[in-house]
Structure 1
Amino acid sequence: MGWVMMSERDLNRIEVLAQIDDGWLSVQNGANMLDVTKRQMFRLLKTYRTDGAAAIRHKARGKTPNNQIHKAKRDYAMALVKELYPDFGPTLAVEMLAEHHGFKVSRETLRKWMQEDGIWLSRKQRRTFHQPRLRRECFGELIQIDGSDHRWFEDRGDPCTLLVFIDDATSTLMELRFVKSESTFSYFDALERYLLRHGRPIAFYSDKHSVFRVARPNQHMTGMTQFGLALAELNVEIICANSSQAKGRVERANRTLQDRLVKELRLAGISNMEDGNAFLAGFTERYNGKFAKAPAKPDNLHRALNIEPDRLAEVFCLRDKR
């Protein structure tokens, strides 16, 4: 006689069946304990009495699962990932395999394959980040803004800056714009597009870039930048964060964009800011469909403009006090 391997579930069944067979337990109580029907309990009891305890073992034990993916399919998927998407994460790689190659596999299965082949690190192996603060409750209550300098077109074009406006309550991308660099007028242009599309939010949340904050105000300066003066006229508050962790929502969005957007631009063959800005509308819609969250409260706190839209040019200009 050799050893018979059994799971804890099988051993538990045998224990209950033995108590029923010895008269210590009723069939109905045994069925309740095993979470099976009374009819199934009688079948198990008959098998136990006829063929013994070893027959209770699950019949599929030791056999190949019916839903196991064939090794050839795994090899095909990993060959595509290694050749075309070697720096893609599992989530984006799954989307690309389904969209461009008609190959459907779950994200967790692909993640496991990529880890086994050494092209993806588990969460424990990756760096952890600062605990994010609580979100604002309403859409339009606080909009985080930042500029991300990066080689967005890789070696196909010059490096540039992506201006990112993201709603704090929902992580919705509100405005994306490729510009040459972070400057007052590049932010004015992006802000005008934002206001005409969404209205005035309660406040913007930024870093301490010179566009948003005067480093050393003196008696000849108001202490407000040109961007701050424009927002004051529009009755929109500007808050400058003391650390990058404080505006973690937009910082994490930047990291996601530097991964996902760069690769989508590569696949689309885009190599300049003009084509990139035309591409951003469709990308933003897809991004928000995947990553945007519902706010804690349903209110939209965006307000209508307090001036005529054609007068925005008078607000977004350089001013000098004499």
Structure 2
Amino acid sequence: MDELKKYEVIKGLADHPQPNKERAALTLGCTIRHINRMLAGYKTYGKVYFVHGNKGRQPANTIQNDVKITIIDLYRSKYYDANFTHFTELLDRHEGISLSVSSVSKILESEYILSPKVTRAKHKRIIKHLKDLKKAAKTQTEADAIQTNLVAAQDAHTRRPRAAYFGELLQMDATSYEWIPGSIWHLHLAIDDATGRIVGAWFDTQETLNGYYHVFQQILTDYGIPYKFFTDRRTVFTYKKKNSPSLDEDTYTQFAYACHQLGVELESSSIPQAKGRVERFNQTLQSRLPIELRLAGITTIEAANEFLNLQVKEFNAKFSLPFNTIKSVFEEQPSNEKINLTLATLCERTVDTGHCLRHSNSYYKMLDKNGLQVHYRKGTRTMFIQAFDGKKYCCVNDADIYALEAIPEHEAKSKNLDLDYKEPKPKKKYIPPMNHPWRKSIFHKFVQKQEHHWDDEEKASA
């Protein structure tokens, strides 16, 4: 409109026998000298003179249409379900397309592709816009295409102050998700509350004691003994007293016993918002990690756990606070032997008529430190112990600890028919020291202490 106005005023001056240049300058808001310049240009070039030279040209920093189409196709076919920040990083890393997050967001949102992490306010705005477009749609096909671009908004968790020290409070949780197509695994995760740093992560098929033991082992090996764990009220962590006075019928968690041996406090809550940091980080991992697993070609849970170690370092570098600037209250890392013996599972078994113990459909014989079998009469109660590395032991009479060796169903070779048969020599077996906390008397004292603790809480709540 501004160009048309200039053209009409200058044309009127050129056609008028006595042009009033002062009135024209006042109308266009310019000087008489510029009026003379435009008159000369009109007489030389005509109406074309008033068209801006950059009209119809694209700016130098314009993103080409083929690049926009490539970005949209990559998101829909290869990087789907990635949030836009992560998608921008993936484009730069794998496709050689370096753009800002805002540019990528505008390109995708122009096709009504919304981020999985879109805010509620923006989601409402776009919903309103899409509804208006849907009402104005001329065909039902066009209306259906607009409707399919809507995505659900994400709810935010409430915030609370961070802990003061690194290792003071570790939030622990497990999240089930379809991390690879067709396989739902449980990611066991531990987050430091002060720094937001991942200190342990492990995939398992279910939320199990084994998964949390692997996370605990990573924490003890890499950082040391923390001050406190904060978890949900899963039976893996909490002790719930039954309506029976017998200790044998009480439910006891072995994770809590391992924490007790290392001096780690264990606190639980049934409210997810109480451990909001690990809950929010679960959402971050669910948004990013499946894309990374798919691009890396991960198909098995074993390969996923190996790949997870590399991803944890990248996530910590990107999302956590520098832990070197925050005072650490982790105690000194225990030895590998102590970690192995502490993160153990315990259960009671009785000796059968063959002087053996049965566990998980396998039979085991008891061996002393010289590798020789020891015998107890039928019905002797023992504590069956499986260490973190898989080795098995048993404790008899609160005093004697023996190594266990599985009895195969069939002999590997025959003494009478195989010429290369050699009589197996007993090997010296490692036996934990007699003061080890596997002794049952200490175990039952801790169970009794837990029972009194829950009795006091029930009285206080009543």
**Structure-2-length-normalised TM-score:** 0.53
User: Cα offset for 1:302?
Assistant: 1.0
Which residue number corresponds to residue 275 of structure 2?
247
Distance 1:274 1:127, change over 3 A: closer
Spell out the pairing of 1:135-154 with structure 2 (5 A cutoff): 135-154=162-181
Match of 2:158 among 91, 113, 131: 131
CA contact (8 A) 2:195 2:322 kept: yes
User: Cα offset for 1:108?
Assistant: 1.2
Distance 1:261 1:2, change over 3 A: closer
Alignment of 1:98 with 2:92, yes or no, is yes
Match of 1:263 among 280, 283, 291: 291
More strand per residue: 1 or 2? Answer: 2
Which residue number corresponds to residue 301 of structure 1?
329
User: Cα offset for 1:141?
Assistant: 1.3
Instruction: Determine helix, strand or coil for the equivalent of 1:76.
Output: helix
Alignment of 1:180 with 2:208, yes or no, is no
Letter in 1 for 2:166: F
Match of 1:229 among 235, 257, 268: 257
CA contact (8 A) 1:137 1:297 kept: no
CA contact (8 A) 1:138 1:296 kept: no
Letter in 1 for 2:180: F
Unaligned stretches of 5+ residues in structure 2: 6-29, 36-51, 124-152, 348-442, 446-462
Bigger Rg, structure 1 or 2: 2
Distance 1:151 1:48, change over 3 A: same
- What is the rounded CA distance, in whole Å, between the counterparts of 2:2 and 2:178 in structure 1? 64
Instruction: Determine helix, strand or coil for the equivalent of 2:112.
Output: coil
Distance 1:48 1:226, change over 3 A: farther
User: Cα offset for 1:241?
Assistant: 2.0
After superposition, give the CA deviation of every residue in 1:82-101 in whole Å (9 maximum; x if it has no partner). 22123221112112211111
- What is the rounded CA distance, in whole Å, between the counterparts of 1:275 and 1:103 in structure 2? 29
Match of 1:321 among 414, 419, 444: 444
Letter in 1 for 2:284: T
Spell out the pairing of 1:19-38 with structure 2 (5 A cutoff): none
Distance 1:76 1:149, change over 3 A: closer
User: Cα offset for 1:296?
Assistant: 11
After superposition, give the CA deviation of every residue in 1:68-107 in whole Å (9 maximum; x if it has no partner). 2222322222222222123221112112211111111111
Spell out the pairing of 1:12-161 with structure 2 (5 A cutoff): 51=34, 64-121=58-115, 122-123=118-119, 124=121, 125=123, 126-155=153-182, 158-161=183-186
- What is the rounded CA distance, in whole Å, between the counterparts of 2:323 and 2:54 in structure 1? 47
CA contact (8 A) 2:157 2:280 kept: no
- What is the rounded CA distance, in whole Å, between the counterparts of 2:195 and 2:99 in structure 1? 29
Distance 1:316 1:84, change over 3 A: closer
User: Cα offset for 1:51?
Assistant: 4.5
Higher relative contact order (CA 8 A, sep 6+): 1
Which residue number corresponds to residue 195 of structure 1?
220
User: Cα offset for 1:111?
Assistant: 1.1
After superposition, give the CA deviation of every residue in 1:92-143 in whole Å (9 maximum; x if it has no partner). 2112211111111111111121112111154221233132111112211111
Tell which deviates more after alignment, 233-242 or 199-208. Answer: 233-242
